[in-house]
Amino acid sequence: MTGSEKTRETIVEPTIFELGRPGRCGFRLPELDVPALDPAEVLGAGNVRQAGPDIPDLSEPEAVRHFTRLAELNHHVDRGFYPLGSCTMKYNPKVNEDAAALPGFTRLHPEAEERCCQGSLSLMYHLSRHLCEISGMDAVTLEPPAGASGELTGMLIVRAYHTARGNPRSKVIVPDSAHGTNPASLTLAGYDAVEIVSDDEGRIDTEELRKVVDEETAAIMITNPNTLGVFETHIEEIIEIVHGVGGLVYMDGANLNALLGIVRPGDIGFDVMHFNLHKTFSAPHGGGGPGSGPVGVKAALAPYLPYPVISRDDARPEGRKYHFDYDRPESIGKVHGVYGNFLVAVKAYAYILSLGPAGLRRVAENALINANYLQAALREHYDLPHGDYCQHEFVLSASRQKEHGVKALDIAKRLLDFGVHAPTIYFPLIVKEALMIEPTETESRESLDHFAEVMKEIARESESDPAVVQGAPTATPVSRLDEARAAKDLDVTWKRRNA
Ligand SMILES: *Cc1c(COP(=O)(O)O)cnc(C)c1O
């Protein structure tokens, strides 16, 4: 099994604008069987376009084949292993997609009256209750459309809470292992970030924490398990220190995979947290679809949640039980148009119901076992700077390989030659040449073994033949691209072929 046995499939795929011929069409509408109206008369002449849209002319099979060919050039979780740490690229069961495709959900108008969407309101209400049950929080909003947006929502709630007590305070503490969105979110909410250095084991240093905590501390943002895959064992002490000055404790729950059914952040003492439905609760994300970043809070913070809150009132007549509650004078307001990415919530709801409490706990157990199995298989071949046992992910360092001129980036690129997606690299920032690996619970032992063998092979190559790794990938449709150029030198002009 060597990657170099594969030869490069070259891209021969033109852009869709270069395909097809003028006048070709995928679908034609039948002749009109009602009286034709003059658009200029109905809409006003100024609102009617003079020429048709300049879009490519393709038959349906041409369009389908174009996108199928492009999809085959790409790596995705339905095609192979995708150990992208912190992003939780678990396999997404197709039954979730079936649920989200039900016409009652997809054809629902966002402004539909309450009495016309009781089923969907009931789903949102019950999903929020399930997330409360899973996390130990008292109330949840589904409005934020992503994890980062959930963090900002959480920080605005923190701000509203302190403001109501007379002083919004000025700073929020973040460990140096935090996801980059943490400092960005607290800054957007008007706070100053105070970074604290982790100890030798990659955990929050409580002595360092005591030095920076004071009456201006609005909150601390903690990821637990942290981005090194290490559980914060002093969590109760940390929470006590911050609560001691009246500060709040925020949990970045983007990666709840390790905790499901085992630990509830609300029970430990966290006041506010966000979830990433698109990571933990199996909705396709990244290039595959939109996200959802619900925020959970303890009862004291519930008045500040974004409105409308989906409420249930059994005293109301049937057909109006579930309703939008806009009467929230202390709310931070809306954080998203309409009510969030509803279909992502449908997928998460289907996922939670199909697994049930025991199944969710098994998700976490298998995620932990898979990560520890891989870590044990690789720790002799790569440096492992932090942690003995890991949680759902672990971080290796390619420092040893770098002595031979092979960087983490080269290893990531070489993996592509073996049909494996690269892990997250150069994050967390506190590990040199970081390779952050999260296998997830959905992988079989065979796929973990395959990945371990490939990683060992690359470690051997790095010593014996570093040029092979440095020159990778050679089996992918394109080799190394200039990653910044498409953004800096954007060219969206096109010419119709045979125009
Ligand atoms: C992914 C992630 C986020 C941000 O979530 P998005 O949905 O990408 O905005 C925040 N924190 C951690 C630890 C994450 O892994």
Digit-coded pLDDT (tens) for 103-117 = 999 999 988 999 999
DSSP 8-state class, residue 198: B
- Tell me how far the alpha carbon of residue 88 lies from the centroid of ligand 1, in angstroms: 10
In this structure, of 6-10, 222-226, 422-426, 466-470, the range with the lowest mean pLDDT score is 6-10
Residue with CA at minimum distance from ligand 1 atom 14 = 254
Residue 194 CA to residue 203 CA, distance in Å, equals 16
Question: Which residue ranges does the chain devote to CATH 3.40.640.10?
Answer: 96-352
The hierarchical CATH code for the domain 364-486 is 3.90.1150.10
- Report residue 352's pLDDT band, with 50, 70 and 90 as the boundaries: very high
* Backbone angles phi and psi of 167, in degrees to 5: -155, 115
pLDDT for the residue 452: 98
* Cβ-Cβ contacts under 8 Å for 347 (sequence gap 6 or more): 92, 96, 97, 99, 100, 277, 281, 282, 283
The hierarchical CATH code for the domain 96-352 is 3.40.640.10
The tokens describing 48, both together, are 């009617």
Provide the pairing of β-strand 295-297 with 139-141. antiparallel
Question: Which residue ranges does the chain devote to CATH 3.90.1150.10?
Answer: 364-486
Name every protein residue with a CB atom under 6 angstroms from any ligand 1 atom: 86, 146-148, 179, 181, 223, 227, 252, 254-255, 276, 291, 293
Residue pair 196/208 in contact (Cβ under 8 Å)? The answer is yes
- Tell me how far the alpha carbon of residue 276 lies from the centroid of ligand 1, in angstroms: 7
| pLDDT tens by residue, 185-210 | 999 999 999 999 988 888 999 999 99
- Report residue 483's pLDDT band, with 50, 70 and 90 as the boundaries: confident
pTM, two decimal places: 0.90
Residue with CA at minimum distance from ligand 1 atom 2 = 254
Provide the pairing of β-strand 322-325 with 309-312. antiparallel
Mutate-to-test residue for ligand 1 from 86, 230, 281, 427, highest number of ligand atoms within 8 A of CB: 86
Q: C-alpha distances in angstroms, 499 versus 17, 22, 185? A: 11, 8, 48
Residue 366 CA to residue 369 CA, distance in Å, equals 5
Residue 360 CA to residue 257 CA, distance in Å, equals 9
| pLDDT tens by residue, 164-182 | 999 999 999 999 999 999 9
- Report residue 248's pLDDT band, with 50, 70 and 90 as the boundaries: very high
Mutate-to-test residue for ligand 1 from 181, 252, 279, highest number of ligand atoms within 8 A of CB: 181
The tokens describing 275, both together, are 């979830």
- Tell me how far the alpha carbon of residue 259 lies from the centroid of ligand 1, in angstroms: 16
- Tell me how far the alpha carbon of residue 11 lies from the centroid of ligand 1, in angstroms: 33
